[in-house]
Amino acid sequence: MVVPFMTLYLVSARRVSVVAAGEVVAGFGAGAVVAPLVSGALADHLGRRVTLLGSTLSTSAIMVALVYARPAVLLVVLVVTLGMTLEAPRPVAQALVADLVAEHDRVRAYAALF
């Protein structure tokens, strides 16, 4: 829910143009596109538990930092990084389902995960 309200915040409180607010939100999307590639590699090298924990803790730290971010550049960097950290657990969780759930129960497990 951060991203939709981020747009409203930027336009109303920070007096950013609608176009610039849209570009910030597009940065979130760019981070979300890159996240599966990065988190998959991290999960292979560092382990799934470390990747899940790191992305979850990073997400909470970035959300707190967004409250205090004033410079526009910092705000953009935080939003792009937030897109990455929010999407990072997705491939790791899917790999965990493949590893931990018996083959005959995977369809239900993936449906529950979705």
Q: Which amino acid does the sequence have at 113?
A: L
Structure tokens at 30: 């760019």
Question: Nearest-CA neighbor of 43 among 33, 52, 56, 32?
Answer: 52
Residues constituting the chain = 114
Q: Give the Cα separation of 78 and 88 in Å (integer).
A: 15
What's the pLDDT at 37? 93
Domain span at residue 56? 2-113
Q: Provide the mean pLDDT of the chain.
A: 91
Residues 82 and 28: beta-carbon distance below 8 Å = yes
How confident is the model over 49-85, as pLDDT tens digits? Answer: 999 999 999 999 999 998 898 888 998 999 999 999 9
The domain tally of the chain equals: 1
